[in-house]
Amino acid sequence: MKILSVIGARPQFVKAAVVSAKIARTPGLEDVLVHTGQHFDANMSQLFFEEMGLRKPDYYLGVHSLPHEAMVQQMQEQMVEIVEKERPDWVLVYGDTDSTLAGARAAHACGVKLCHVEAGLRSFNTQMQEEFNRIQTDRISDLLCVPTEVAVENLRREGVDLCKVVLTGDVMKDAAYVFAPLARKPQTDIPDKFVLCTLHRAENTDNPDVLKELMLSLELIAEFVPVVLPLHPRTKNKLNEIAYPFDTSRLMFIDPVGYLEMLYLLNHCALVLTDSGGVQKEAYFAHKYCLTLRKETEWVELCARGYNHLLGHNHVDIVTTTRNFLEMPPVFSDDLYGDGHAARKIVQALLQL
Ligand code: UDP
What share of the chain in percent tops pLDDT 90?
98
On whether the CB atoms of residues 115 and 28 are closer than 8 A, the answer is no
Q: What is the pLDDT of residues 48-79, one digit of tens each?
A: 999 999 999 999 999 999 999 999 999 999 99
What is the extent of the structural domain holding 255? 182-326
The answer to whether position 164 is within a domain reads: yes
Co-location of 258 and 201 in the same domain: yes
pLDDT for position 246? 76
Contacts of 345 (CB under 8 A, 6+ apart): 145, 166, 168, 169, 338
pLDDT band at 245; cut points 50, 70, 90:
confident
Co-location of 132 and 218 in the same domain: no
Co-location of 198 and 150 in the same domain: no
Whether the predicted pLDDT of 177 surpasses 90: yes
pLDDT for position 10? 97
Kindly give the distance from the C-alpha atom of residue 279 to the centroid of ligand 1, in angstroms, as a whole number.
6
DSSP 164: G
Kindly give the distance from the C-alpha atom of residue 260 to the centroid of ligand 1, in angstroms, as a whole number.
11
Co-location of 154 and 220 in the same domain: no
pLDDT for position 270? 98
Q: Ligand 1, atom 9: nearest CA belongs to which residue?
A: 259
Co-location of 164 and 191 in the same domain: no
Q: Which atom of ligand 1 is nearest to the CA of 263?
A: 11
pLDDT for position 348? 98
CATH, residue 314: 3.40.50.2000
Cα gap 55→17, rounded to integer Å: 9
Q: Ligand 1, atom 25: nearest CA belongs to which residue?
A: 277
Give the residue-averaged pLDDT of 321-345.
Answer: 96
Total structural domains within the chain: 2
Q: Which residues of 143-152 are buried (b: 16+ CB within 10 A; e: fewer)?
A: bbbbbbebbb
Mutate to test the pocket of ligand 1, among 7, 171, 254, 262 (most ligand atoms within 8 A of CB): 262
Kindly give the distance from the C-alpha atom of residue 43 to the centroid of ligand 1, in angstroms, as a whole number.
11
Element counts in the chain: helices (H) and strands (E): 15, 13
Co-location of 193 and 313 in the same domain: yes
Q: What angle do CA 311, 313, 315 make, to 5 degrees?
A: 95
Q: Ligand 1, atom 10: nearest CA belongs to which residue?
A: 279
The answer to whether position 126 is within a domain reads: yes
- Told to judge if 200 belongs to the known catalytic residues of this protein, a careful annotator would answer yes
Give the residue-averaged pLDDT of 280-287.
Answer: 98
Give the residue-averaged pLDDT of 160-172.
Answer: 98
Co-location of 142 and 223 in the same domain: no
Co-location of 100 and 224 in the same domain: no
Q: What mean pLDDT value characterizes the chain?
A: 97
Co-location of 319 and 342 in the same domain: no
Output the CA–CA distances (angstroms, integers) from residue 76 to 106, 141, 142, in the order listed. Answer: 5, 16, 18
Whether the predicted pLDDT of 275 surpasses 90: yes
The answer to whether position 333 is within a domain reads: no
Q: Which atom of ligand 1 is nearest to the CA of 276?
A: 24
pLDDT band at 214; cut points 50, 70, 90:
very high
The answer to whether position 282 is within a domain reads: yes
The answer to whether position 177 is within a domain reads: no
Cα gap 321→309, rounded to integer Å: 9
Mutate to test the pocket of ligand 1, among 48, 51, 98, 198 (most ligand atoms within 8 A of CB): 198
Alpha helices in the chain (DSSP H): 10-25, 46-52, 68-86, 98-110, 129-139, 149-157, 171-179, 202-205, 208-221, 233-241, 259-268, 277-285, 300-304, 315-326, 342-352
Co-location of 317 and 342 in the same domain: no
Kindly give the distance from the C-alpha atom of residue 9 to the centroid of ligand 1, in angstroms, as a whole number.
9
Catalytic residue among 39, 116, 200, 268: 200
Whether the predicted pLDDT of 353 surpasses 90: no
pLDDT band at 21; cut points 50, 70, 90:
very high
The answer to whether position 332 is within a domain reads: no
Q: Ligand 1, atom 3: nearest CA belongs to which residue?
A: 257
Which of 324, 319, 287 has its CA nearest to residue 302? 287
| pTM, rounded to two decimals | 0.97
pLDDT band at 213; cut points 50, 70, 90:
very high
The answer to whether position 23 is within a domain reads: yes
Which of 191, 97, 281 has its CA nearest to residue 272? 281
Phi, psi of 258 (to 5 degrees): -75, 170
Kindly give the distance from the C-alpha atom of residue 111 to the centroid of ligand 1, in angstroms, as a whole number.
32
Co-location of 166 and 188 in the same domain: no
Q: What is the pLDDT of residues 287-327, one digit of tens each?
A: 999 999 999 999 999 999 999 999 999 999 999 999 999 99
Residues within a 6 A CB radius of ligand 1: 10-11, 14, 198, 200, 230, 256-259, 262, 276-279, 282
Co-location of 25 and 132 in the same domain: yes
What share of the chain in percent tops pLDDT 70?
99
Contacts of 138 (CB under 8 A, 6+ apart): 116, 119, 120, 144, 155, 158, 160
Mutate to test the pocket of ligand 1, among 10, 38, 46, 297 (most ligand atoms within 8 A of CB): 10
The answer to whether position 331 is within a domain reads: no
